[in-house]
Structure 1
Amino acid sequence: MGDDYCNAPDIVHDFVPSSRWTEDSNGHYLLVDLPDFKKEEVKLQVDPSGHVTISGEQLTSEVGSYCTYIFRFHQTLTLPPDSDINRVSGNLDLERGIYYVTVPKEPNHQLVI
């Protein structure tokens, strides 16, 4: 068996994916780097208080190994004040390995200073 045997049933790797915000006149856009993830491995949730949570879990195993590797993340961010939380959506670009979260702006939102 040698090197092909794994003592632990699962080897878990928690990580924080790199992400960045961008914006235009129509909305805010969160880009999350998730190379090698599949659409069904990523979850997007928006709560009424204006927070968005992106989480994911990916199970992999090496050929000839008895180990299962779990790569997972969980990230909660506060949405900008002018966000339309009822229309937030997410889309994974498999080719680029980027998860795009689209946060439309509320129409006629005025910033209070």
Structure 2
Amino acid sequence: MALIPQLLESIFQPLSLNDSSTSKFVNPRVDWKENEDAHVFKVDLPGLNKEEIKVEIEEGKVLQISGEIKGVDLNKEDQKKENETWRRVERPRGKFCRRFWLPENAKIDEVKASMENGVLTLTIPKQEIKKPEVKTIEIN
């Protein structure tokens, strides 16, 4: 039975301060759905508030969502404490930037954004795209 504690100890080793599994860049999950009236984006950003998130539309075509998720940084002195051993760090941390090409029918002047329970919701209304007028030329 003494083998089991040793085995568990070897499996759950403390993370080193330079562990590469703690990413410096985060890729938040995004859902994008389209209905009759709008394009709706839902972005998982747990632990962030609206002041920490930047939403931009570049050149009327590209939606950009960016910011930084701050979590445990094992390289920072203020996060190292005596008599404390980190056993696992899985929550993501780091900067993020997600970009999406918006369809031609997106009304970028009427975008609405809200944040609730760590989920950013962007609603981009749709506009009707006028089809180009076609004039038939009679051939003589």
Displacement, 1:45? 0.2
1-structure distance, mates of 2:72, 2:122: 29
Alignment of 1:5-44 (within 5 A): 13-44=24-55
- State the percentage of identical aligned residues: 27
The answer (yes or no) to whether the contact 1:26–1:104 under 8 Å persists in 2 is: yes
Between Structure 1 and Structure 2, which shows a larger proportion of helix residues?
Answer: 2
Alignment of 1:28-107 (within 5 A): 28-60=39-71, 66-67=78-79, 71-93=94-116, 95=117, 97-106=118-127
Displacement, 1:32? 0.9
Q: Runs ≥4 in structure 1, deviation > 4 angstroms?
A: none
Alignment of 1:109 with 2:120, yes or no, is: no
* Bigger radius of gyration: 2
- TM-score scaled by structure 1? 0.71
> Secondary structure of 2:67's match?
strand
1-structure distance, mates of 2:104, 2:48: 30
Displacement, 1:71? 2.4
Provide the aligned C-alpha RMSD in A: 2.8
Between Structure 1 and Structure 2, which shows a larger proportion of strand residues?
Answer: 1
The answer (yes or no) to whether the contact 1:44–1:52 under 8 Å persists in 2 is: yes
5+ long unaligned stretches in structure 2: 1-16, 80-92, 133-140
Letter in 1 for 2:58: D
> Secondary structure of 1:13's match?
coil
